[in-house]
Structure 1
Amino acid sequence: MVTITVRDVVRLALPEGTNIVAGAAGLGRQVSWIATLRATLPAFAELRGGELALLSVEAALALDPRLTLAVLVRRLAQAPVPIAGVAVLGTITPEDQQAAEDARLPLLQLPEGVDLREVEREITRLITDYEAQFERRAARLYDLLTQCSLQGGGISGLLDILHERTGQSVAFYASNGVLRAQRGRGQSRLALQALRPNGRGETTLLNQQIWVEPIGNSGLPIGYVAIAGTLLDPWDRTAAQRGALALALELAKEQAVQAAEERLRGDFIAGILAGAPGDLAAVIQRGQELGYTLHLPHTAMLVHIDDASTATLARAATNIQNELKRLGVNAPISRRESNVLCMLPTTSVTRLRELTEQLRERLRLDHPNVVIAIGTPATHLTEWRRSVEEAEQSLSLGRQIFGNDRVLAFGDLGVYRLLIRLRETPELWSFYRETLSSLAEYDKRQHADLIKTLEAYFNHLGNLRATSEALHVHRNTLLYRLERIKEISGMDLDNAEEHFALWLAVRAHRILATLEE
C-alpha cells in the first residue's frame, strides 16, 4: 500500500490555492485518515495518530469560544500519538502559526469558500485509491495547463502553474539547452540555471535532484522542461511530463505566430530591396505598423550556415528573432535560400559590433559552424540594397581573409573594398596579368607555393625570420623562393614601386578568385 504524506495530500487532494502557512518541516508525516470537527465537545475524539485534522475556525469557536485554532493545535500536538497535520478553513492568526511552528505540525490554509465535505472526499479518495486519485489530479493539471495556454498565459503562465502545483523549481529550455525561463528559489533554482539538458532523464546538480522531460519528439525535441528539488517523487515527474505536453502546444502556437511574422518581415525587406522609389511612402508606413524604427540607420547582417537545410535556416531565424527580442531590438528578418538576412537598426558602429558578436555567440550554441557578415550602415531605405551587397561581399571574401572565428565586417576589408569595385573591370585584370599571373600559372603547373610565400612575406613586413617561421621553412629556402619570384614575375621586391604593385596584386588575386567561386 502506498504511504501518503501531508505533502501528497497538499498536491493530490487539497483544492488549488491551499497554502502551507506553518510547520513545513512536518510535510513528510504520514497521513492515515481524516479527522473532522465534531458537533459536540470534545472537538476531536478517538484519535489514533496520523490523522489530518479538517476544521473550520468559525465552527470551532461556535463549539466553544475558548477553542481558538492555537489552542486546538497545541492540544492536537500533545496527543499520545501525534496527528499528521491540520487543514483549516478561515482566518489564521500569527499566534496560530507560532503554535504550529513550535509543534512542527503542518498548518494548511484552505481557500476561502471551499466545501469541507468535498475536501474530505478528495482526501479519502487519495488514501483509499491512490492511483485513481493520482490520475485524476494529473488530468486536472493538464486541463489547467492547456486552458492557461489557450487563454494566452504563455510559457511564463505554464511555469507558474507547474511551480505552484509541485512546490518545486521548474525551468524551460530551448532545443539547444539554453535556459529561457524558470520559476523557483534557492539551491534548486541555481541548479536549473547551471543545467544544460540534452535528453530525458534524471540527474543531480548542486545536491539537487533534477528530472528533465523533452518537449515534442524525443528524438528531435523543440525544447526541454526540468523540475528540481531536494527530493523528487512520481508526482513531480508526472507534472513535468504534463508540462512538456502543454509546452509543446504553446511552442507550436508560438512558432505559427513567428512564421507569420517572418513572412511579413521577409516581404517587408523584399519590398524595399525590389521596390521603386514611388513605393517608399507605403513601405515606411507599413514598417511603422510592424514596429520598426525606420528613422535609424540599418545595417545588413547575413547569417550563413554551411549546407543548411530549410529546417535549419528556419530554426536559425527563430533563434535570431528570440535573441533580438531578448535584447530589445525589433528588426526585419528574411529567410533566404542559403542564409538569413536581418536589417539591424543601429545607432553606432560600436553598438553594431557588440550586437552582432552577441548574436554570433548565441547562435553558435545551436549552430557551431555559423558565419555572420555585415555591411555598413544605410542611413536611408534606398541604401539598404547597398548594405546587403556589402554583407554578401563580406561573407564571400571575409572568410578567405579572416576565417570564420569573428564577425565579418565590410568595414574591415580595407583595400579589398576598392578592389571589389574593380574586380570586373578590364583594368584590374590587365594589372593582374602584368604582375602576378605568371606566378599563379607557375604555382598551378609546378604545385608550388610562390604566391603563398609572397603573401606571408608581405604579412610579416618583409621580416625574413618571421616569414620563414610562419611558412615552416628554412631561411635559405625562403631566400631561394624570393629569388624565383623575382625571376618568374620580373618584379623586384627591393624596388618600392614594384614592391607595392606585387602587394596589391596579391590582394587582387583573392578578389578575382571570388569571381570563379
Structure 2
Amino acid sequence: MFVQAAGLGHELHRPHRVAVLRWPGTIARAAVGDAVERAAGRLGLDVLTGVRGETAVALLAGRDTGGEALYRAVSDELGTAAGAVGVGGPCEDCADLPHSYDDAVRALTVRRRSHEPHGGTGFEELGLCRMMGAGDGEREADRFVREWLGPLLDYDARHTTGLTATLSYYLESGGSYDATAEALRIHRSTVRYRLQRIREVTGHDLGDVDTRLNLHVASRIHHVLDRPR
C-alpha cells in the first residue's frame, strides 16, 4: 500500500480521513473522483482517490476540513449540488483507515436519509446516529423507531395530526408544557390534550423515566431519518 501510494505521490505516513462521495448515476464515479482531486487542491488537501461500489472514495490528508466544505467544493467542480459526502473520523495510522471508511459510510448513509439528503456530514456530527450503520445497523435503527413511535406515526398518517412532533418538542423541552406550546404556537391546554391522546394511542406512560428516554432517542433518530427511502 505504501509503495503504491508513494508511486502516486501520496504519503500515507501521516494523519488521514476517509471521505465517501455519491452523486447521481448520470455522473460517472471517475468524474466524481477527478472533481474531488481538483476540489482538494482548492482546499489545501492532499488526496488519493478510488472507486468502491457506487461511491467514490478519497483519502484526505492536510488541514481538517469538514464534510460540508468538501461537498461544496466538489459540487462547484461538478456543476451540480445533487450529491452527498460522508467524512470519517481521523486516523493517525494507516491500519485505522478501514475504521475511518466505515465511519464515512455511516455519515453518508445518515446524510442521504435525512431531511437534506444533499450535503456533507462528518462522523463527529452524527450524535446518536453514530450507532447506526449501513445494513444491519440501519435496519435496527428503523426497528427501534417503529417499536417506540410506530403507532403514533401511523395515527398521524391516518388522521393528518401532529402528535409525533408534539411529543418530540415536549421531550426536547424536558417535559415543559409552556415551552412546547410556545414552540408549536398552540395553547397550553392543547398540549395537555395532545399528550393525553399520545398516551392513549401508544399505551406508553410518559411519566416513566425509561420510557421517556426511549421515546426521546426514537424521536431524535426519526427526526434525522424520516426521509422516505
Q: Is the 8 A contact 2:152 2:164 kept in 1?
A: yes
Alpha-carbon separation, structure 1, partners of 2:113 and 2:173? 18
Report the equivalent of 2:7: 289
Q: Which amino acid aligns with 1:343?
A: L
Report the equivalent of 2:191: 478
1:133-282 equivalence runs, <5 A: none
Q: Is the 8 A contact 1:423 1:512 kept in 2?
A: no
Shift of 1:454: 1.8
For the structure 1 residues 384 and 503, does the alpha-carbon distance in structure 2 shift closer, same or farther, using more than 3 Å as the test?
same
Report the equivalent of 2:41: 325
SS of corresponding position for 1:332 = strand
Superposed CA offset, 1:473-515 (max 9, x none) = 444433322111122222233333322121123245568868x
Q: Is the 8 A contact 2:70 2:120 kept in 1?
A: no
Shift of 1:374: 0.9
SS of corresponding position for 2:64 = helix
Superposed CA offset, 1:201-240 (max 9, x none) = xxxxxxxxxxxxxxxxxxxxxxxxxxxxxxxxxxxxxxxx
Q: Is the 8 A contact 2:115 2:225 kept in 1?
A: no
Q: Which has the higher contact order (CA 8 A, sep 6+)?
A: 2
Alpha-carbon separation, structure 2, partners of 1:465 and 1:399? 34
Q: Is the 8 A contact 2:47 2:60 kept in 1?
A: yes
Superposed CA offset, 1:289-329 (max 9, x none) = 21222122322212333x34135x54443232123234453
Alpha-carbon separation, structure 2, partners of 1:432 and 1:304? 28
Q: Is the 8 A contact 1:300 1:376 kept in 2?
A: yes
Q: Is the 8 A contact 2:145 2:222 kept in 1?
A: no
SS of corresponding position for 2:80 = coil
- Report the RMSD for the aligned CA atoms in angstroms: 3.5
1:318-467 equivalence runs, <5 A: 318-335=34-51, 338-346=54-62, 351-353=63-65, 356-365=67-76, 366-400=79-113, 403=116, 407-420=120-133, 429=143, 433=147, 435-467=148-180
Alpha-carbon separation, structure 2, partners of 1:308 and 1:430? 31
Q: Which amino acid aligns with 1:321?
A: E
Q: Which amino acid aligns with 1:414?
A: G
Identity of aligned residues (%): 26
Q: Which amino acid aligns with 1:359?
A: L
For the structure 1 residues 512 and 320, does the alpha-carbon distance in structure 2 shift closer, same or farther, using more than 3 Å as the test?
closer
For the structure 1 residues 297 and 409, does the alpha-carbon distance in structure 2 shift closer, same or farther, using more than 3 Å as the test?
same
SS of corresponding position for 2:45 = coil
For the structure 1 residues 295 and 425, does the alpha-carbon distance in structure 2 shift closer, same or farther, using more than 3 Å as the test?
same
Q: Which amino acid aligns with 1:353?
A: T
Structure 1 gap ranges (5+):
1-282
From the CA coordinates, give the structure whose radius of gyration is larger.
1
Alpha-carbon separation, structure 2, partners of 1:430 and 1:408? 23
Q: Which amino acid aligns with 2:45?
A: V
Superposed CA offset, 1:430-483 (max 9, x none) = 7953x3333233334434332232223333444445434544544443332211
Per the normalisation by structure 1, the TM-score is: 0.37
Alpha-carbon separation, structure 2, partners of 1:479 and 1:287? 62
Report the equivalent of 1:298: 16
Pairing partner for 1:310 from 27, 33, 41: 27
Per the normalisation by structure 2, the TM-score is: 0.75
Alpha-carbon separation, structure 1, partners of 2:194 and 2:44? 55
Report the equivalent of 1:82: none
Q: Is the 8 A contact 2:152 2:201 kept in 1?
A: yes
Shift of 1:425: 5.7
For the structure 1 residues 418 and 484, does the alpha-carbon distance in structure 2 shift closer, same or farther, using more than 3 Å as the test?
same
Superposed CA offset, 1:80-115 (max 9, x none) = xxxxxxxxxxxxxxxxxxxxxxxxxxxxxxxxxxxx
SS of corresponding position for 2:47 = coil
Report the equivalent of 2:208: 495
Q: Is the 8 A contact 2:69 2:120 kept in 1?
A: no
Alpha-carbon separation, structure 1, partners of 2:38 and 2:137? 39
For the structure 1 residues 467 and 399, does the alpha-carbon distance in structure 2 shift closer, same or farther, using more than 3 Å as the test?
farther
Q: Which amino acid aligns with 2:124?
A: G
SS of corresponding position for 1:344 = strand
1:495-514 equivalence runs, <5 A: 495-507=208-220, 509=222
1:8-87 equivalence runs, <5 A: none
